[in-house]
Each structure stands twice: as structure tokens, then as C-alpha cells.
Structure 1
């Protein structure tokens, strides 16, 4: 095999690629990951060796030849290296903020002389990242001024919890220092919103905080309605998501740091089967068949599914309960079929205008096939590098009988708007059509004949046609 991956006809280039080359590529990716994180010893980090191996294996599968394999590896490494200055700035910001916080805390301690006891005594971790178990406030006195009376403590629990819900989880935890009545009141909050930005991307402190928070709620046997988590390269996330599922969370939102490899939801640690889950939002997550199947078959209450910047290795979305499905800026490794008879809103779109090398490393031209969209009222199919088609099931004609609003991408201009005409023919009550086109396509690819055809389509059905330029 030569440098371009050209080998004799009928022989798969992968069978001729030595394991030593693959191991070297994996090591190069591992080095880039280590440079990005600037650490390899923390127990709270994803096993970087496994991450590097998954990246190489995925690229090895989707590459069309040896040259494409090398190109995609280079794109991935380049993106990791380009993001290093961002993380360096974050690190410098952390050091600066830590210095300021230390000075403030020392000043407050000298001035007030109050001691806050925290659960556990972990060397090297500031008290701001821990959860208070009990507070020593023996000198606490009721304020003498009548306007300073604690009236919040007299509120009904439902109203009190509603007020607390406007605080971040970190702020809610800190209310424990106000008085004995406030200690651990936060544990009964049913909405948990956790963000690593609170700790300036410090993964160690954030992991300790979340672990202790969930443990404290377990002691209180508190119910959970919403679990929202923004994280960065923390392996414990698998356990935290599993915890939320086991505690019957109705709304689950998870976002991995956008400049990091898509987070791998481990099917051995996370089971998305739930009788209670109604809404699921995932950002920058790798989804394979094993992790996705329960969403199709074991989540009867699931109504809303939003996937953003995800790497989708699944071939089918077939939930019978879904009402709203959004697939935004996602990379599809395989052709995807969608069979969702209860779906009301469908969006498959791209919002990014830049050409991220990270996204290009997984870029594939794939086909999305709609099998049952008979209940859809609003639909947008504007993602690039996609071919959209549909297949009517027996007895389901017309396919889009409830569709009123249709938003299509540049792919619909082929053959004088032939794809657009096909969708319109199968949408008897369609009212609004929006075409997402680039000015470049309009200037160089759309002829006068295209314009006349589009006018004929509009006037023939009395449609309102609009444009979404980019």
C-alpha cells in the first residue's frame, strides 16, 4: 500500500494497515488530549487512553482510504491543539480568581471570627466546594429591627421551594449557613442545575461537590424532577446521570464541554430506561445503538428529545411517544431512519457557520429517511451533508397530511426544485415554505428557470414562500 492508500482492486485498505501504525496514531491523539487537559493523574478524568482509542477506532471505520484516515486524524489533533490556548487562559483565570477569593476569605474570617463546619475534611479543597453538614452559629440572634425578622422561614414549604428554585444549586447549598432552620433545606429542591463553570473548570472540586451533593440528597430521600449538568471530561458523569434516572427524573439535560471529544455514555454504567423521563437534552455526546435503544423502546413517557453537537452512531429513531425531535449540528456516522408516529415537530438543522476541524473529522454524507411523520405539523430539514427522503407506509398516504410549516435546506433546489415539489405533493394542507439558501448558491446555481419554477410552485398551491439567507 502506498502513501495514498492505493492497493489492488478488491482488497480493503484496512486489512493492509499495520497495527503499529494504528497504535502510533492512537498515541499521537493521546498526547494531544494530555496537552489539552494538562494532567493525566486525576481520578476524576476520563481514562484518556480509552478516549484516544475510541477516536482512532471511529475514524478507522468511517475513513474511505488510508489518505482519508490520515486526514481525519490530523483534523482531530489540530482541533485539540488549537483549543489549548483557550484552556491556558482558563487556567490563568482560575489562578487569579483563587488568589482574590483567598484574600477575601481571610479578611472575612479575621473580621467575623465565624467557623463553618463542613462535611468531611479533604486536604487541598476549599470550603466553597463542599457541602455544609451542620453550622456552628451559637451566637446567632434574632435581628432587633422589626424589618429584619425572618419571614421566609414562616412560608409554606411549596412556596419556599419555589423561591429557592431561582438560586443556582451552589447558592442554595450556601443558605445552610443562615440559621439552624436553613440547614439542609436545599436538599428538598426537586430541580438540580449543576455547572462546572461555578468552579472555573476545576474538575476536581466540581466532582467532589456533586458527589457530596447527591449523597446529601440521598440521606434526605428527596425526590427529583429536573437534573441539568454542564461538565468537562469527568468520568463520574456516567454515574451521575444514572443516579438521576434511578431517582425518576422527568427532565434530564447534559452538556459536555464543546471543545472536547463527544462524551461517551457507557451502556454498562448508564441505563436510559425510565417510566418517568419526559424530556431529554444531550449536547456533545456520543450515542451508539446500545445506549440509544432504551430511548426507542423503554421510555414510554418521553415527549421531547433534543440532540445538539452529538456524534450519532445509531441507525434508527423509532419512539412511539416522541412529540418533539430536534437534531442540531450533529454528525451522523450512518444513514438514519425516523419512524415516530406521534411526532408533532421535527427539526434537523445546522446552526454553525464555521468549519470546525473537529466536526470535519467526523463529517459524513448520509441519508435521513422519514418512515412515519403523519402527525408532524412543523418540520425543518436544513442540515448540510444530508440527503432527506421519505417512504410512505401502507395506508399512510398522504405522508405529511398534518404538515403546515416546512423549512428546507439547499438540497431542495436539485432538478429544478424536484425534492421540494415532492414534499408539497404529499402535504395537502401545507401553508408556509421557508428555503434556507446561501447567497452564493442563489447567485451561481439558481437560474432564471429556477426562479420561474419556484413562482409556479408558489402560485399553484397558494403557498407563502420565504427565504432564510446565510
Structure 2
């Protein structure tokens, strides 16, 4: 028998807790309508298994957990053996760094000698945390065999963390984001010696504002046979090869690159995200079978050395944009005319340059995508030189579009964009019915989001 219990904690939250498979549940007196059963003095919550109580506390704010120590001796023991420590800026947004540090120090002093499942530290604001405190807290988590370590700081003016973090055999997920380095500081640097011999379940690694060398990257991949999700955010790259036989997801966001490129050898990669890293820096040693890709780069050129359309040919979902660059445009103009059919492509988001500069690329994609269901055309900012430009409304190569499954075409643009009606006419001229075309203005989207935020605050 399975049981779902809803508990009311001191903050007024209703928390559903799944008790799993139980053979017998006795709630004495609860069926009675008189006061005898309700005043029996039995604390039914406290008799729950410790594992269930920890599950409850993982859903409760940490400040509430501290107050719950006063309820009973049983709750005091449970709260002091806390396995989920989540310290987020949202809960402490009006606190100064000094008060926040005292709270954490007292919390850790009260803690019993138990293994941690999660240690999350998120802090940003005008007053940075003392780096000695951060190192002590992170070291505490590592020494208590933490499985999930998540550290997000707006600023961290040191280039190292306790060595025990990088030799822990218990970590399953590691997220280090240290914000922008201060003036004259190089940022956090991964240690050259990383030894994770028993880290079989390490699945996700996120690094932000970190210097990554080839030696440290090789050691992480070699000693983490379960690493499937790798994310670099504004990292300084000092490697030339990402070589993994098990990697499934790779994100390069705001990469700080050197002048030379690097190679990706990840044959089992199914998701690739490239934001701000020029395409000409990336080479593929082995072609993966990507199911999804999000490319929004800023490179000025594309040397045509990598077969990107071949890399993307099996994807179901594609996002291809250009942010202050032209390498995606150059890549598609060179490779689309001769590439194979995108047999699995169902969702395509493409934008900026193609809407006014070369709309034939969109038409070519539609010709090569027989399973396409949703097409989103993005125009973030209309280039001045495109004013008055005409879009060819005739199907390329005198071929009709082959998109029998197409359900909707969404066009995102500004209200003052006077060229969008030309693109709508071009879509209609190429066989897309007007009923399927939906134009969304950024001004209306922003107004809707602001309204939702205000409504949530009122609630």
C-alpha cells in the first residue's frame, strides 16, 4: 500500500510527502469526531521514519528548519542531522554578509556528524562573502561526504578551494560559479592534481569564471566515468581537446578563447549548446548524433572546416541565431545547398540575419525538413542597412516547400519593425497559410512577464 501525507509546517506550507510502500498504518483516534482522539498527545509526525523527515526538511526553508528544533527532542535530533543544506540569497536577501556568515557558522556548529546529500550556497549582492568563510563552508561539505555541491557567488577573489573538494569519492554533481573576477585577479583555477578514483556517479559539472587547463580537464574526464553533462560559463580555455566517450550534453557559454581552436571528441553527445564561442574555433573529431542544439554565436567568419550541418543532421530541435556576428549565416550559406535532409527535425528557431538578408536559407531549411512542426523566426534588432530590403518570395529552385506537418510559424519582432509584413508575404507565397502564422511583439511579451511578476508578488 502507498500513502501520500500532506504536512503543515510552521511557515504555513503544505508539503506532500510520499511514504512509499507501507504494510500497515494506524492513525488512532483520527476517525473520531470528538476531542479525545485529537488530544491524545501522540505526535504522529515525529514517529515517521528519519528518512521521511529528512525528505520533508529538504523542502522547507533553512531558517524554518532551525526554528523547528524547538518543537521537541525528536525534531531537534532530526534538524541537527540535516542532510540538505540549501542557503539561497532569496531567503536572506535583506541580510548583510556578516549576519549571513554568522547564521551559517552557527548552523554548522549545531550539525551532527552525518553525511550530507546537498550543500547549496548562493550569494550575490553589494556585500561579498569573506573568502575564508567560503573555503571553510565548502571544506565542511566535502569532509561530510556531500553528494551535490552547488556554489554560486557573485564574486570570489581567490584562485583555489580546499583540495578535499577535488578528491572526494562521493560527489555526484558539482556546480561552481564564481561570477566575474575582480580587477587584476585571474579567477578561480582548477587544481592540476585531481584524483577522483571512486567517483562513479559523477554526472554533471558546471564551471563559471574558472581557468580550465588541458591537464585538469583530462583528469576530471578520466576519473569521472559517469560524467554526462559538462558546462563551461565564461571560462578561460587552456585546452585543445574535449575527449569523452560518455558525454551527452556540452555547453560553452561566453567562452574566453585563445587565438587557436579546439577539438570535440564526444561521439555520444546528444545536446550541444554554443553561446558566444565562434564556430571557427570548434572542430569535431567524431560526428555525434545530436538530438538538440542551441547555437547563438558572435564569430565574424566561418572557415568551412567543420561539417556543422552534418553534425546537426539528426537533431529534432535546433536553435540557430547570430548575436553580433555572422558565422552561423556564413556556415549555412556554404553548407545548406549540398547538405542532406534533416529527417528528424521537428522544431526550428532561426533568426536575425536570415529574416532580411537571406530568407532563402529559411526556405531551404523548410525544403530539407519534411517533419517540421514548429518554426520560429527571430528578429531581435532590424539592421539599419536592411531598411527597405526586399525578400524574394519565390520558392528556391522552383520547388514547393515539403512541410506537410507544419503546425505553426511564430515571428518574434518589435512593433516598429516595418519589414516583417514582407516576410509574412514571403511565407504565404511559399505555401504557408496565413492561419498558421503568429506574430509576437517583444513589447507585449515584456508587458506580460512584468504583469505575471506583479501578480505573483501580490499573491
Give the TM bin, normalised by the shorter chain: 0.5 to 0.7
Structure 2 residue runs of 5 or longer lacking an equivalent are 1-35, 180-186, 330-350, 381-459
Question: Does the alignment pair 1:224 with 2:116?
Answer: yes
Q: Distance in 2 between matches of 1:162 and 1:452?
A: 55
- 1:274-293 aligned at under 5 Å gives the runs 274-284=168-178, 286-290=187-191, 293=193
Question: How far does the alpha carbon of each residue in 1:145-186 deviate from its partner, in whole angstroms, 9 at most, with x for none?
Answer: 628863322223222222222222222122122233333320
Deviation at 1:463, TM superposition (A): 7.7
The question of whether the paired residues in 2 share the 8 Å contact of 1:438 and 1:469 is answered with no
- SS of the residue corresponding to residue 409 of structure 1 reads strand
Deviation at 1:469, TM superposition (A): 5.2
**Structure with higher helix content:** 1
- SS of the residue corresponding to residue 348 of structure 1 reads strand
Shift of the 343–174 alpha-carbon distance from structure 1 to 2, 3 Å rule, reads: same
Shift of the 268–249 alpha-carbon distance from structure 1 to 2, 3 Å rule, reads: closer
Which residue does the alignment assign to 2:134?
A: 237
Which residue does the alignment assign to 1:79?
A: none
The question of whether the paired residues in 2 share the 8 Å contact of 1:173 and 1:184 is answered with no
The question of whether the paired residues in 2 share the 8 Å contact of 1:370 and 1:391 is answered with yes
Deviation at 1:468, TM superposition (A): 5.4
Deviation at 1:212, TM superposition (A): 3.3
TM-score, with length taken from structure 1: 0.54
Q: Distance in 2 between matches of 1:302 and 1:194?
A: 22
Decide which moves more: 375-384 or 297-306: 297-306
Question: Does the alignment pair 1:341 with 2:245?
Answer: yes
The question of whether the paired residues in 1 share the 8 Å contact of 2:279 and 2:299 is answered with no
**Structure with higher strand content:** 2
Match of 1:251 among 143, 148, 164: 148
Question: How far does the alpha carbon of each residue in 1:405-435 deviate from its partner, in whole angstroms, 9 at most, with x for none?
Answer: 22222457845x947x711224553343321
Question: Does the alignment pair 1:409 with 2:296?
Answer: yes
Deviation at 1:213, TM superposition (A): 2.6
Q: Distance in 2 between matches of 1:187 and 1:144?
A: 31
Q: Distance in 2 between matches of 1:250 and 1:345?
A: 20
Which residue does the alignment assign to 1:126?
A: none
Which residue does the alignment assign to 1:374?
A: 267
Aligned pair count reads 301
TM-score, with length taken from structure 2: 0.55
Deviation at 1:390, TM superposition (A): 1.8
Deviation at 1:375, TM superposition (A): 0.5
Which residue does the alignment assign to 2:56?
A: 163
- 1:91-130 aligned at under 5 Å gives the runs none
Q: Distance in 2 between matches of 1:223 and 1:150?
A: 27
The question of whether the paired residues in 1 share the 8 Å contact of 2:138 and 2:162 is answered with no
Deviation at 1:236, TM superposition (A): 1.9
Match of 2:158 among 243, 257, 264: 264
Q: Distance in 2 between matches of 1:469 and 1:210?
A: 47
Deviation at 1:455, TM superposition (A): 4.0
Q: Distance in 2 between matches of 1:248 and 1:170?
A: 23
The question of whether the paired residues in 1 share the 8 Å contact of 2:293 and 2:312 is answered with no
Which residue does the alignment assign to 1:429?
A: 314
Match of 2:367 among 459, 464, 469: 459
Deviation at 1:344, TM superposition (A): 1.0
Which residue does the alignment assign to 1:183?
A: 76
The question of whether the paired residues in 2 share the 8 Å contact of 1:248 and 1:277 is answered with yes
